[in-house]
Amino acid sequence: MAAVQLVSALGRRAMCRWTAAGDRARERVPSAGHIRQSFVCYFRDKQRHREVRSAPVIPRGDPSLLLVNAGMNQFKPILLGTVDPRSPMAQYQRVVNSQKCVRAGGKHNDLEDVGRDLYHHTFFEMLGNWSFGDYFKEEACRMAWELLTEVYDIPQDRLYVTFFGGDPALGLTADEETKEIWLSIGVHPHHLLPFGLAHNFWEMGEMGPCGPCTEIHYDHGVGKGAAAQVNTGNPQLVEIWNLVFMQYSREADGSLHCLPQRSVDTGMGLERLVAVLQGKESNYDTDLFTPILDAIHRGSKAPPYRGLVGDMDPDMIDRAYRVLADHIRALTICIADGLYPGMTGAALVLRRILRRAVRYSVEVLQAPPGFLAGLVPTVLEILGDAYPELKQDPCQIMDTINENEAAFLSSLHRGRRVIDRTLQKMDNSQSFPVDVAWSLHRNLGFPLDLVSLMLEEKAVIMDTEALGQLAKEEAERLRPLPQSDLQPDRVLCIQDISELQRTGVPRTDDSAKYIYKLQDGKYVLSPCQATVVALYDNNSLVKEVGQSQTCGVILDQTNFYSEQGGQTHDLGYFVREGHQDVLLPVVNVQAAGGFVIHTVSVPESLHVGDRIDLFVNEAHRLACMVKHTATHLLNYALRCVLGDHTEQRGSHITADRLRFDYNIRTPVTGQQLETVEEIVRDVICRDEHVYTADVPLNQVNCIRGLRSIDEVYPDPVRVVSVGVPVEQLLHSSDKQHTSVELCCGTHLLRTGMIQDLVIVSERQLGKGISRILAITGEEAKEARELGRILAEEVDSLSLRLDNGMKSLVDSQRLSKEIGQLTDVVDGAVILHRDRRQLQERLRALHRTANTAIRKLESRETISLGLWTATLCKDGYIWEEGKSPEYGLGGHSNTATS
Ligand code: SER
């Protein structure tokens, strides 16, 4: 009844463009684009949800994930309660989006299944609606049902709904509330089924928010008896939508606690929904895939796709079609988001996807090299409107695929030779050595099933269990670190934050961290006094801590910088009012949910309510400020030299050095790095003003040339501009030739204090990503000086080499010295280009020394040989294998004849 009222009140036809297109759309079969859009439109326009863009597939600051695998990933800070209250995310209550997801590594790994059946994918789109402390079960179920049955017009009798049937062992009762809601909506009791923990209880990870879920399944055509087929793996009865009710938090000890704020997290696979609405049983028969399958047919000359699986597809042609269609979508999405095939973590996952695709393309479909990359434009036609970032640089996506394909094809060739050579050495009864198979996988990047297939072709057996064990060990190594291993000192978890909120602890005002001035050429930080508002002893909130303890301290205000934006936290100490002689060292500062927590060593006691004087270690802070402003200049200079496509991929700033990761298309040359340094030094010499201002988020987009990274910024957001006042930036439509970034870090007020910047190391982290380490100020000067000293050492060695290669002993000593100096040069903090030059010169010296040593050795051996031969003539015999190694080989014959 309620559903009917809801629908009639809002007017079904007015609800959404898709329905407005009504019958016309149904006649034509709705396109995937239309279905995606109508989902968003329903929740945005009718249910007042905020539309949020898909996050990139590289997780934002979440080391527990390899790749984004669910719509809720980007909203984790809200669910965990750690969201910065100034972030627009903190205001989210109702959200809708379509999220790019990849499940090909880690907990959800579908890679090897893709292609074998009609429904597994590595890349898929997850449609979702969220309520963060807003509506809960009743509204979530009603909205889902209305959308499916009223907007998309899916017949109700095709739908089956599951709910959580309880788990007595965990003390969890059945979710009767959800069951009653569905019954009141009108779901037939025979279509409503209870399931246990495995199917109907959703957990984000080993710890954290979780709760019962209710799933909606679609019957493609089982008909009678379909209820018994739900959750049995029957491909005709598929789950299409999962509605999770986050109401608990799983603790480290396994217990469940009620969450302070209940949330709804729903996820519906677009591919499955499109299959339902386009009347297809296979996702691959929808317009999300058919244009790619057609392109494969046109380009490879393989027989047309027939949609067959298993024994019906003995030559694996259809499997290959599906593998390619799926993998090219994943490759395009991941590479566009800045991921490159590599050897670790997510990059390794992408490498495997690429190699699997190449293998099926070349080996099964016998397509020419370059064919795979040629499918990218078709992917852009299908997904480019929904995810415009794909259209930014398609050539780069194709180049990356082509380069990696070429590398794999050459390893394939080498791999075959390795297998053939190994087989030649084996007798027929032996099984193929597992270490060789593993090395093909690990070093030449062969997918494991390819190794097995190649051996199968040659009718050779292998200990697959042992190989599986090695794979398991590697998977263990790849497993992201558990959160507990990643947390430095005291951090606040969701329970802490909700407890702080509940007990009325005020959020920390840390605006004083930005208050400092230049006085007589020196930076002076503002003094700060504060009151202790909360204390943690281990994991408990306490009123006081005793002597010699390390505890977590929350103050009403602080001028300490907490770790964020790549900049390390401040160090320093507290002093209790009236106890001026006792310092309380601050060793870590972290922020979460608007609270700043200081990890402090307490030599005497400390109480809630104590007044504290705060002393930030100024030298440490200033060094971080120098490095942070220098990082912005480096970012700007790299873009000037390498081009506008250069994007920051990460950074880390400590008092000693700065680290900057960025994307590259081709390896960076020494000359380019030198120009980068020159540009930075030029800005340093001009001693430019560094302007900062808080600007509403919706205004920053008009600043041309603004640098930002993929992060959720607070509103208002801090803009840091070198040389041009922020006001001026906001009122100018010209592109600014200076560094302008969104950044929460602490910066110098003028660039001169950086003094100098040198790049001490540059190396490629993986394909397409480079990492620079740089130092500044006095350290930079010292690095130049050390470079000069080491160059003199190399000069002197070179001179001694010219003069001192008379005897074998001398030469060997010089060679050893060259080795020692090489070690020093390798490890010294000197300019990157100096190191390169010195290493090159040392290599040349090594070659010269070794040649000389060989000659001298051979001379000595020859004289030894002549001497020994003389002995032979006199009755001694050559011992086997002791004939002279170098030079006149005829001696032995002469001697033995
Ligand atoms: N988080 C749930 C899932 O991934 C619902 O979005 O299925």
Euclidean distance between CA atoms 2 and 4, whole angstroms: 5
Cα→Cα distances 462→412, 432, 475, Å: 19, 5, 21
Give the closest residue to 328 by CA, choosing from 379, 384, 394, 392.
Answer: 379
Distance 72 CA to ligand 1 centre (A): 7
From residue 627, alpha-carbon distances to 390, 515, 585, 607 in Å are 34, 18, 24, 36
Nearest-atom number in ligand 1 for the CA of 126 is 6
CB atoms within 10 A of CB 303: 12
For residue 802, which phi and psi values (nearest 5 degrees)? -65, -40
Q: What distance in Å separates the CA atoms of residue 768 and residue 338, rounded to the nearest whole number?
A: 8
Q: Tell how far the Cα of 203 is from the centroid of ligand 1, in angstroms.
A: 9
Q: What is the mean pLDDT of the chain?
A: 86
Substitution candidate for ligand 1 out of 97, 241, 266 with most atoms within 8 A of CB: 266
How many A from CA of 295 to the centre of ligand 1?
A: 32
Q: How confident is the model at residue 445 (pLDDT cuts 50, 70, 90)?
A: low
Residue 715 confidence (pLDDT):
83
Ligand 1 centroid, distance to 267 Cα (angstroms): 5
Q: Other CB atoms closer than 10 Å to residue 864's CB: what's the count?
A: 12
Q: How far apart are alpha carbons 144 and 218 in whole angstroms? A: 13
Q: pLDDT confidence of 25, banded at 50, 70, 90?
A: very low
pLDDT over 80 (residue 884): no
More confident position, 869 or 396: 396
Burial 410-440 (b: 16+ CB within 10 A, else e): ebbeebeebbeebeeeeeeeeebebebbbeb
**Does the pLDDT of residue 269 top 80, yes or no?**
yes
Ligand 1 centroid to 265 CA: how many Å? 6
Pocket mutation for ligand 1, best pick of 43, 164, 265 (most atoms within 8 Å of C-beta): 265
Token pair recorded at residue 737: 């030739």
| The pLDDT of residue 220 | 95
Label residue 61 exposed, middle or buried (CB < 10 Å: 0-12, 13-18, 19+): exposed
Residue of 594, 565, 563, 568 lying closest to 710 (CA atoms): 565
Taking a C-beta distance cutoff of 8 angstroms, is the pair 676, 700 a contact?
Answer: no
How many angstroms does the Cα of residue 83 sit away from the middle of ligand 1? 20
Number of the ligand 1 atom closest to the C-alpha atom of 72: 1
CA nearest ligand 1 atom 6, residue: 267
Q: Which residues contact 819 (CB under 8 A, 6 or more apart)?
A: 846
Q: Which amino acid is at 792?
A: E
Which atom of ligand 1 sits closest to the CA of residue 244?
Answer: 5
Which pLDDT band, with edges at 50, 70 and 90, does 22 fall under? very low
* 201 CA → ligand 1 middle, Å: 11
Name which residue sits closest to atom 3 of ligand 1, judged by CA.
267
Percentage of the chain modeled with pLDDT above 90: 56
* Ligand 1 atom closest to 267 (CA): 6
What are the strands of the beta sheet with 690-695, ordered from one edge?
Answer: 690-695, 717-722, 740-742
Q: How far is CA 736 from CA 187, 672, 729, 749, in A?
A: 60, 22, 8, 19
pLDDT band at 869 (very low <50, low <70, confident <90, very high): very low
Site to probe by mutation for ligand 1, drawn from 107, 244, 245, 263 as the one with most ligand atoms within 8 Å of Cβ, is: 244
CA of 307 to the centre of ligand 1 (A): 28
Average pLDDT for 369-391: 96
Pocket of ligand 1 (CB under 6 A): 70-72, 128, 202, 242, 244, 265-267
> Which residue has the CA at smallest separation from atom 4 of ligand 1?
70
H helical segments located in 360-393: 376-383
Give distance in angstroms: CA of 138 to centre of ligand 1. Answer: 18
Separation of alpha carbons 572 and 586, rounded Å: 5
What are the residues facing 759 on neighbouring strands?
774
Of the candidates 145, 104, 522, the residue with the CA atom closest to the CA atom of residue 333: 104
pLDDT digits (tens, 9 = 90+) for 154-173: 999 999 999 999 998 888 89
State whether residue 599 is helix, strand or coil.
strand
With contact defined as beta carbons under 8 Å apart, do 745 and 653 qualify?
yes
